[in-house]
Amino acid sequence: MKSSTPRQLAFYLALIASVLFGGALLTLKYIRFNDQFVFIIIFAAIFFILIDLIALRIFNDFIFNKIQPIYKSIYKHAISQKAFKKQIVKNDMISGANMELENWVKTKAHEINKLKQIEEYRKDFLGNVSHELKTPIFNIQGYILTLLDGGLEDESINKLYLQRAEKSINRMISIVDDLESISHLESGEMALELEKFNIVKMTEEVFEALEKRARDHQISLTINTGGQKAIQVYGDRKRIFEVLSNLILNSINYGKKRGKTTVSFMDMGNKILIDVNDNGSGIAEKDIPRIFERFYRTDKARSREEGGTGLGLAIVKHVIEAHKQSISVRSKPGKGSSFVFTLKKA
């Protein structure tokens, strides 16, 4: 039903008032004087009640017409006149609408800020991907052009340049593989193969795999098990091996000469806490919130020199979260870093 406008209701009010007054005057001619006073009081009461009801209707219609667009903006649909009347009875409609509008504005402002952050992240990500792939591509191009310009016949450089080209190709493959892994982890397409395994033994295997790198950097690798020879956890063995490898490799690459990396374990009830600690260069406080971002590097030149893709910590974070566990970092420049994550105890 279409609501009346304030102008129409004012006309109805004037019409009803005129009819009532006319009827009252005619009635007074035919009743006794003693009853006229009582009649006037009753008439005045009825008149003011009608005026009040009509005025309320005018006010409600006026407020409804103002609030209707607000509700439509907030909830994507208009509120009905019936629902509006219920709100009038139950609540303070103006205060409620004002509060809901304020909450809506805050929500939209938060969404806008989030979209801006995502857009900024997208730009950084595309720029980083472009930069990471551009370097090996240009290197490969340079080696091939040199070989085509006659270097292929020169035995002193042909094999060397082909080996360098292969190294750049392998770097590109590593970047693509890491990006694919992150994509699968984020989308949930990568199913974890959960099993029971000894996390202490796995750590020893990682140490063996990185022994040469640690020796070249003069970093000592130690395990602190608290006297336990075996600590059983539940997870994807291959993925957790990747997590430990990335964290320990980072501690070696950013360590200092004659430094150390220690992997410790702590029983936390139904979980095992794993702490990868080093006394290396550490991380600046401003960088800590961003170190798990793709391609984010605290020391870009050094990281590329070590051959990293810039995706290791991003993969670590996604793997741990895929296990429904958490990872955190504590670090001070010049004092070292400590990466701590949990796994379910088997």
* pLDDT for 194 beyond 70: yes
Identify whether the C-beta of residue 312 lies closer than 8 Å to the C-beta of residue 332: no
Specify the 3-state DSSP secondary structure of 267. Answer: strand
Specify the 3-state DSSP secondary structure of 345. Answer: strand
pLDDT band at residue 233, thresholds of 50, 70 and 90? very high
Specify the 3-state DSSP secondary structure of 310. Answer: coil
pLDDT tens for residues 118-160?
Answer: 676 666 666 667 777 888 888 899 989 988 888 888 888 888 9
The residue with greater pLDDT, 10 or 179, is 179
H-state helical runs in the chain:
6-29, 33-75, 81-90, 93-148, 158-187, 199-209, 211-216, 237-253, 300-305, 312-322
Burial grade of 275 (CB within 10 A; 0-12, 13-18, 19 or more): middle
Q: Give pLDDT, residue 2.
A: 47
Please indicate whether the domains covering 104-187 and 194-345 agree at the CATH topology level: no
Among candidates 281, 313, 285, which has minimal Cα distance to 297?
A: 313
* CATH fold label, 194-345: Heat Shock Protein 90 (3.30.565)
| Distance from the Cα of residue 179 to its chain's centroid | 19
Q: How far apart are CA 199 and CA 265, in angstroms?
A: 9
Q: How far apart are CA 201 and CA 292, in angstroms?
A: 26
Among candidates 42, 13, 314, which has minimal Cα distance to 182?
A: 314
Pick the CATH number of 104-187 from 3.40.50.880, 1.10.287.130, 1.10.3720.10, 3.40.50.1000: 1.10.287.130
Our CA angle for 94, 100, 105, nearest 5°, is 125
Q: Give pLDDT, residue 66.
A: 63
Name residues whose C-beta falls within 8 Å of residue 244's C-beta, 6 or more positions apart in sequence: 202, 203, 206, 263, 274, 276
Identify whether the C-beta of residue 28 lies closer than 8 Å to the C-beta of residue 36: yes
Q: What is the mean predicted confidence (pLDDT) over 55-74?
A: 62
Q: Give pLDDT, residue 59.
A: 61
Residue whose entry in the numeric block shows the structure tokens 């997208």: 122
Q: Give pLDDT, residue 5.
A: 52
Distance between the two ends of the chain, CA-based, in angstroms? 67
Q: Following DSSP, what letter does each residue of 78-116 receive, concatenated?
A: PPPHHHHHHHHHHS-HHHHHHHHHHHHHHHHHHHHHHHH
The residue with greater pLDDT, 104 or 161, is 161
Q: Where are the domains of the chain?
A: 6-90, 104-187, 194-345
Which H or E run includes 326? none
pLDDT tens for residues 311-343?
Answer: 888 889 989 999 999 999 999 888 899 999 999
Cα atoms in the Cβ-side hemisphere of radius 13 Å centred on 145 = 6
Q: How far apart are CA 192 and CA 336, in angstroms?
A: 32
